Amino acid sequence: MKLHLVPARVGLQWVKLGVKTFFRQPLAMSGLFFMFMATVSVLSLIPLLGTLISMVLVPVATLGLMAATREATQGRFPMPSTLISGLRGKPVQTRNMLVLGAMYAAGLLLVLGVATLFAGDAPAVDPNAGEVSAELVRASLANQGLLAGLVVYLPVVMAFWHAPALVHWHGVSPGKSLFFSFMACWGNKGAMLFYALGWVGVFMLVGLFLSLLGALLGGAQALNIVLYPAVLFMASMFHTSIYFTFVDSFELTERPTPTTNGEEA
């Protein structure tokens, strides 16, 4: 296994493959993502400990959704048990996944700590404040805590992006998986940038479509009816595409599926 560098345009191909694969098994992929979110919601009822457990389970859920994508690309229906694939391997694999989850939780707490430290006396944004004004947006963008948190969060995301798959499928230790994942994201930063911009464009188009649909059907009340299912589907599509970023970023002894129209990118 070694790093595979791809052209920047492949990032858009990852977006297309994620959408295409999602629609092969839309109920399965969205259902698995909903199961994870429901689990997080239940765990959140446990003060503090529930939140920590949810953080630890994020790499497990990421691996599970990647495994479900692999099943869909091979024409199989992903079963609910696929979501916990990361906990169903050999004991050493399960332990390493939980260690990776603990490291992820620590990374998120570090991001939160940095954001809180730099926020100082900046007023918190009230999510129930009602209308989002231009002043509110400007205040949010000028919040040093938010900016500092984003600066720290970016390398954390890069380090954990491919790490669950490396740990579970290829037996890489948690520490090394973070290094390899970061280097893969950095080496393919052009493709990752196009990938991110591609999804931003998709979300914006869907948001515009939903706004027009809501206006045609009766305003905000109608929009609220379709908003949650739309967000669920979009989030599921995004997580479906993560698998393709992994397969194209490493030269593996076995490549389960061609990801760039049968050609090496």
Residue 23 has pLDDT above 70, yes or no: yes
Is residue 70 a contact partner of residue 256, using CB atoms and an 8 Å limit? yes
pTM of the entire predicted model: 0.83
Provide the pLDDT confidence category of residue 231 given band limits of 50, 70 and 90: confident
Over residues 93-131, the pLDDT tens digits come to 899 999 999 999 999 999 999 888 887 655 554 444 444
Q: Which of the pair, 247 or 144, is modelled with greater confidence?
A: 247
Over residues 62-96, the pLDDT tens digits come to 999 999 999 999 989 999 999 999 898 889 989 99
Average pLDDT, the chain: 85
Angle at 158 between CA 154 and CA 161, to 5 degrees: 130
**Alpha carbon distance 232, 226 (integer Å):** 10
Q: Which of 139-153, 192-206, 233-247 has the lowest mean pLDDT?
A: 139-153
Q: Find the helix or strand (DSSP H, E) in which 38 lies.
A: helix 26-43
Residue 255 has pLDDT above 60, yes or no: no
* Domain ranges (residues) in the chain: 17-251
Q: Which of the pair, 54 or 256, is modelled with greater confidence?
A: 54
Residue 248's closest CA among 239, 261, 237? Answer: 261
Model pLDDT, residue 122:
52
Q: Indicate the angle between helix axes 163-170 and 49-73, nearest 10 degrees.
A: 70
